[in-house]
Amino acid sequence: MDFTRRETLALGAGAAALTLLPAGAYAATVDELVNEFTGGADVADGGVNLDAPEIAENGNTVPISVSADGATAIMVLAAGNPTPPVATFNFGPLAGSSSASTRIRLAGTQDVIAVAKMADGSFARTSKEVKVTIGGCGG
């Protein structure tokens, strides 16, 4: 838990701002972004790997990695961020593997989504919930 007064207040403000956002407020945006990426094509569940922690150690820098065999591009979205697009990784024919790692900032507990575009033009999608917590008390 964070307890210096300044950080407490800052956190309180952040948490308050978050709770003001109605759940699903960005659902349309995420759908739109996926649609834009896929051109409206069907998206299969699975076939793309997304590695992210279940609980972020620090919401300001959350390590994630994505990979999908044979993908030409992988788009990453943070569904609950004020601006959901995180990155789109493009893999050219000379890429050793279709995988990428980065660190992202998460405004709160939310789903991180990865959509892969395969060489044959098909699409695959996966998501993982990452919890951003102000801390607990260990056993």
CB 90, min distance to other proteins, A? 23
Which residues fall within 8 angstroms of residue 100, CB to CB, at 6 or more apart?
Answer: 65, 66, 67, 74, 87, 89
Nearer to other proteins, 24 or 131 (CB): 131
| Nearest CA among 95, 26, 86, 39 for reference residue 67 | 95
SS3 call for 127: strand
Minimum CB distance to other proteins smaller for 35 or for 133: 133
Cα 62–chain centre separation:
10
Binding mask 43-82 for other proteins (x = CB under 8 A): --------x-xxx-xx----x-------------------
Contact residues for other proteins, defined by CB under 8 A = 1-5, 7-8, 11-12, 15-16, 19, 51, 53-55, 57-58, 63, 101, 109, 129, 131, 133-139
